[in-house]
Copies of this chain bind each other. A is one copy, B any other.
Amino acid sequence: MHHHHLHELPSEQVILELISYNREKHDRNPFSNVDELLRNLHPERVNWINLDGLNVSPIIEKLQAHFCFHSLVVDDILNDQRPKVEEFDDYLFVTLKMLYRIEGSSIDYEQISFVLGKNYLLSFQEKEGDWFDGFRERIKLDQGRVRKKGADYLLYRLIDIIVENYYSVLENIGEQIEITESEIQQDATEENFQKVQQLKKELIYLHKALYPLRDAIGKLVKDESSFIEEENVKYFSDVYDHVIHLIDSLDTYRDLTSSLVDIYINTQNTKLNQVIRLLTIISTIFIPLTFIVGVYGMNFDYMPELRWQYGYHTIWIVMIVIAGSMIGFFKYKKWF
């Protein structure tokens, strides 16, 4: 229904993949046909179905029919959504954002949604490519705990990898802030100002992603969902702590960025003050002198000084004294 806030999807190929595993066995296969995939589900294993590309509704409809999703779940998968967790009778629905920081440019998002059932996990991604390849390899090679655990642990690991990625994005921003700070202290260029604005914007968008994520994972931890085994709640609680830690860092970076603006303005003002001070010094010294030489450029018939033998020398001495005391005054005022 809410097609208006649908992400623009590239016409990439839709990719369907099933990874099924238990302590003993492991299979990983791509499928071009949903029905075939559904026939290959192993009830005694954990089944992870991953779908890249959401623009082919028949696939999603068949999955919906097979796993009995509520129609609102399909809406939420297809549309830009606030990160959230919702428990239904037969499954748990989780949707959140994966982050991509494109070097030199802004942050990009991809929505990823999960449906967790008793022995299956469905993951829906907008585009091909994710941060899970290393982890898929670990499953295959039976590294870590994943093959000994259920689908809930699989969900935890995937969320954990996504949150890890937030850390690296945020650390990258932290480094950018430090670099920009030292640049700004040297010169307040337009370019630096735009860097600060860019950083501010990225932090605003991260804020928009992180606060709902905290709420969503917090709900997961507190609600004691029946789809998450009690011994695994500790893991989600650990992810929750990481998200809170991320938010602390985010707030710290926001404060630092607003300090950057202060530093920028100060550097700019200091520069302007220097300019105005130079103007004042030059004007204050030469305007009175110019007046004096103007006086003796007048053509009055009767101007006795003009006739004096040392008039010219006297006037020079007077002017040097005036200029000298001006300079002394400026030195006293520490203007240069």
Question: Which residue numbers of A lie inside 8 Å of B, CB to CB?
Answer: 1-2, 4-5, 70, 72, 75-76, 81-82, 84, 160, 164, 167-168, 171, 185, 187, 190, 193-194, 197, 200-201, 204-205, 207-208, 211-212, 234-235, 238, 241-242, 244-245, 248-249, 251-252, 255-256, 259, 261-263, 266, 268-273, 275-280, 282-284, 286-291, 293-303, 305-312, 315, 334-335
Report which residue of A76, A211, A300 has the largest number of chain B beta carbons within 10 angstroms of its beta carbon: A300
**A72-B235, A284-B278, A312-B302 are known contacts. Are A244 and B82 too (CB-CB below 8 A)?**
yes
- Distance in angstroms from A292 CB to nearest chain B CB is 8
Contact among B164, B271, B301 for A2, CB-based, below 8 A: B164
In the bound complex, residues from chain B placing their C-beta under 8 Å from that of A269 are: 268
State the main secondary structure of chain A at its contact with B.
helix
**A238-B72, A244-B82, A301-B307 are known contacts. Are A283 and B287 too (CB-CB below 8 A)?**
yes
In the bound complex, residues from chain B placing their C-beta under 8 Å from that of A76 are: 238
Is there contact, CB below 8 Å, between B307 and A171? no
In the bound complex, residues from chain B placing their C-beta under 8 Å from that of A277 are: 275
Contact among B5, B72, B248 for A208, CB-based, below 8 A: B248
Additional pairs, 7, CB under 8 Å, beyond known A272-B273, A283-B287, A293-B298: A5-B167, A84-B241, A187-B334, A204-B255, A271-B273, A296-B300, A301-B311
- Nearest 9 A-B pairs (CB), nearest first? A293-B294, A296-B298, A82-B245, A297-B297, A279-B280, A300-B312, A286-B287, A204-B255, A290-B291
- Distance in angstroms from A288 CB to nearest chain B CB is 5
Is there contact, CB below 8 Å, between A164 and B278? no
Bound Cα distance A174, B202 (Å): 15
Is there contact, CB below 8 Å, between A298 and B300? no
In the bound complex, residues from chain B placing their C-beta under 8 Å from that of A205 are: 252
- Distance in angstroms from A76 CB to nearest chain B CB is 8
In the bound complex, residues from chain B placing their C-beta under 8 Å from that of A301 are: 306-307, 309, 311
